[in-house]
Amino acid sequence: MGPSPPEISAGAAEFARKVSRLNEIGIALSTEKDSDRLLETILLGAKELCNADAGTLYSMTEERTLKFSIIRTDSLHIAMGGTTGVAIPFPPLRLYRDDGEPNLQHIAAFVALKEQTINIPDAYTAEGFDFSGTRAFDKNTGYRSTSFLTVPLKSHENEIIGVLQLINAKDWDTGRIRTFSQEDQKLAESLASQAAIALTNKRLIEDLRHLFEAFIKAIASAIDEKSPYTGGHCERVPVMAELLAKAANECDHGELKEFRLTDEEMYELRIASWLHDCGKVVTPTEVVDKGTKLETIFDRIHLVDTRFESLMRQTEVAFLKEKLSALEQGTPERIPELERNFQETIARYEEDRAFVKESNIGGEFMSPERQQRIRDIGAYTWTNPDGEVVTFLTENEVYNLNIARGTITPEEREIINNHVSASIKMLEALPFPKNLKNVPAIAGAHHENMIGTGYPKKLKRDQMSVQARILAIADVFEALTACDRPYKKGKTLSESLKILGFMKKDQHIDPDLFQVLIDYKVYLAYAEQYLGAEQIDAVDHSKIPGYVSASPTTP
């Protein structure tokens, strides 16, 4: 048999255990997403590795000061910052004095400025640093601050992002206060290096996330700015969607009883809500901004109004000619009838002009009788500036003035509806990360309905995610209550819920989410933020079409 392997010394085994623990902490740091828990893991891990009684983790601020992020002192039962919920009352530590000179007397500031570790055996005998604050703390608490190990946290760009300070290393066997060893220092520096990487990565991820969100909101704001009639829509819909989603998460009955959105799924819904109308960037402004039926680049009602003036002047000229002819022919008895006919014609034209102006505004419904009157007016003839006798209204003018609802023709509606297809195309071209991969599908389904008659893909309920169905209701509710539409005033809560009730009965919106909207009074939470006082009327749930009274457990 060969020689037996040499025994591993107890010290080497302990060091190996610490290295193993260091690796475990490093892995934990790389996976932690919460900022407070990340900072806490760094400090607690360092205290554990070096068996320190106390420690502080400072974070570098944009103002180049050191902020107290986490404080722990085991023997005094002090725990501040991090997940404790206990605020740290100390002001940030300044790196420079009022005269601009570096604050090298404070050990943490020195380490941040000089970018080097300081290991002090005893604060009471150390020279070159101001420990007056430490001594005052000790006097007030009965503590004895002795050994200090202060380590800089440096990013991959050699930028100081924080300082780790450990106080009072304890002997592993006796618990007596000792000096931090070189082994302790190496472990702390190794942990600080890993911690700096974790903090930097998290900061970079947060910076990218903030940039991403700012870019999304900039796009949404640009779309809202594009049209004064839909300004704020892209901002308000995400609010309504999130309110409804949170209420659905709380639902404890019905088909949504088991439904729960994770934080990531809620974030995915928020991003989809901000981007749901991004395709409107390709929609022509003259269609988006069509505030009246005759509006194109300008409102053609002014041309029609001028035309009425010309028609009445031409009628007056014809009347005066007939009147002169009657006098010349010696038949003055005809004049009263001519005048009566003239006045009646002018009065009819004035009524027709007012009717055309009224019809141009648009509304909820235009009856067949009113549409026929437009056609009759259009059939009038007049002499245009070129001397041609033509019909009073063009075919296009008659077609637009006879729009039954609103101000948009079917062809223009198709152009507007195409914004959803454009949104899907734009969003599907973006390399969304895994946690946002459903954004195109959620955003692209906000005009679908439960029976497959929506657009653009004619999806049915079971083909849509709950998030998409939430966004669809949020979009409709915002549109109903919005006060910036060109052809209508913002509806009251009771009017809006009545319309949504009929939509629920017609299977155009999700019935379970409609129930949540009413049961949890989501509509009221939104109204208190965005609706005028005149719109927030009393709502009688029993009078909402399609609504069934909530279960006893519902608030």
CA 529, 535, 540, 543 torsion: positive or negative? Answer: negative
Spatial distance between the Cα atoms of 555 and 552, rounded to a whole number of angstroms: 8
CA 297, 300, 301, 302 torsion: positive or negative? Answer: positive
Q: Which amino acid is at 325?
A: S
Confidence (pLDDT) at 1: 47
Spatial distance between the Cα atoms of 498 and 521, rounded to a whole number of angstroms: 14
Spatial distance between the Cα atoms of 389 and 374, rounded to a whole number of angstroms: 19
User: H or E stretch including 166?
Assistant: strand 160-170
Q: Pick from 216, 107, 211: which is nearest to 164 by CA?
A: 107
Query: Is residue 374 within 8 Å of residue 403, measured between CB atoms?
Result: no
Query: Is residue 168 within 8 Å of residue 51, measured between CB atoms?
Result: no
Same CATH topology for 10-205 and 227-289+411-543: the answer is no
Q: What is the DSSP string of 224-276?
A: HHH-TTSTTHHHHHHHHHHHHHHHHHH--SGGGTT----HHHHHHHHHHHHHT
Query: Residues with Cβ < 8 Å from 173, sequence gap 6 or more?
Result: none
The tokens describing 220, both together, are: 């949404």
Please give the DSSP secondary-structure letter assigned to residue 534.
G
Confidence (pLDDT) at 19: 72
The tokens describing 350, both together, are: 């004035």
The partner residues of 52 in beta bridges, in order of sequence, read: 169
Q: Which amino acid is at 255?
A: E
Q: Is the peptide bond before 456 cis (omega within 30 degrees of 0)?
A: yes
Q: What's the whole-model pTM score? A: 0.71
Three-class DSSP labels, 79-102: EEEHHHCCCCCCCCEECECCCCCE
Spatial distance between the Cα atoms of 370 and 359, rounded to a whole number of angstroms: 9
Task: Please count the other Cβ atoms lying within 10 Å of the Cβ belonging to residue 517.
Answer: 28
Q: Pick from 153, 194, 189, 192: which is nearest to 60 by CA?
A: 153
Domain boundaries, the chain: 10-205, 227-289+411-543, 301-406
Residue pLDDT tens, the chain, 555 long: 455 455 556 566 666 777 777 777 777 777 777 778 888 888 898 899 999 999 999 999 989 999 999 999 999 999 999 889 899 999 999 999 989 999 999 999 999 999 999 999 999 999 889 999 899 999 999 999 999 999 999 887 788 989 999 999 999 889 999 999 999 999 999 888 888 888 888 888 888 889 999 999 888 888 877 766 666 888 899 999 999 999 999 998 888 888 999 999 999 999 999 999 988 888 887 787 787 888 887 889 999 999 999 999 999 999 999 999 989 898 989 999 999 999 999 999 999 999 999 999 887 789 999 999 999 999 999 999 999 999 999 999 999 999 998 888 889 888 888 889 999 999 999 999 999 999 999 999 999 999 999 999 999 999 999 999 999 999 999 999 987 655 567 899 999 999 999 999 999 999 999 999 999 999 999 999 999 899 999 999 999 999 987 654 445
- The b/e string for 390-412 (b: 16+ C-beta within 10 A; e otherwise) is eebbeeebbbbbbbeebbbbeeb
At residue 219, the 3 state secondary structure works out as helix
Q: Which amino acid is at 315?
A: T
Confidence (pLDDT) at 171: 93
Query: Residues with Cβ < 8 Å from 554, sequence gap 6 or more?
Result: 251, 252, 253, 519, 520
Q: Does domain 10-205 have CATH number 3.40.50.1820?
A: no
Confidence (pLDDT) at 472: 97
Give me the CATH code for the 227-289+411-543 domain, please: 1.10.3210.10
Spatial distance between the Cα atoms of 21 and 146, rounded to a whole number of angstroms: 26
Spatial distance between the Cα atoms of 170 and 147, rounded to a whole number of angstroms: 10
Query: Is residue 57 within 8 Å of residue 39, measured between CB atoms?
Result: yes
Backbone angles phi, psi at 501, to 5 degrees: -60, -45
Q: Pick from 459, 447, 385: which is nearest to 422 by CA?
A: 447
